[in-house]
Structure 1
């Protein structure tokens, strides 16, 4: 037969509950911004926009095999598409956010000022319109510096991808 004695229930006292709430609050205030912060989001967003612009200009160069002047120009504050002398609407110009810097590294002449794509989609120098260039000259590495660094690699055969160029 079972005993009719009441069992003593266990639970948290009010003091223990307050201590737990204070500890959870301290953890949320210190660890929360690190776990859920926006650090690095701007770099990733800009990387996607720049890759999209580069791929669009590459496709235009491959579709228009008569003109050799599709690409982008780099400045300290913008990346501007080049459409063979056509006027580029302001919505297509990528403004570099003030917290970021864009650096271009390549052995192509003047690559830090701009690049073009030939009719095969390969990256070439800005002199391509007057002196045709072939594929395989050099890869181009674009670094987006901010809280974190992000990279875009345009390989010498035209493949545009995320990450650093490896030799």
Structure 2
């Protein structure tokens, strides 16, 4: 029997790692090696030029290699942390990929590439204004990915909720 594909988008945020842990605990547990899913982790790295364009005109040249190196370092830290979480949770059947681009499009393309059955993304909990300016990755994927999309939202801490 061919395993179904569970694709999880990961970035450096707490929401991202919460959603990965939730997916492992709820969709792969209690026996990850015998799970019906193969886990695919996708980290989307922004292109260095897109960051420099936002910085303003005249920025680039000498800075480009530094920005690119920093983005690669961040990607390595994120994927290493995700691999460690999988290993701690006894998940052995997983694949990690780093892709470059806009997270919304890149995750939808990864769904197609891996023929994902489920895409899991975290909810960063941004307000309406920030979502309107930046765009919500989870909202975009929910409307454009050709598979089931699960948006995992970390519950508010009871102590914080009462304040």
Fold conserved between structures, TM > 0.5: no
- Considering fraction of residues, name the structure with more helix: 2
* Structure showing greater Rg: 1
Q: TM-score, normalised by structure 1?
A: 0.24
Structure with greater contact order relative to length (CA < 8 Å, sep ≥ 6): 2
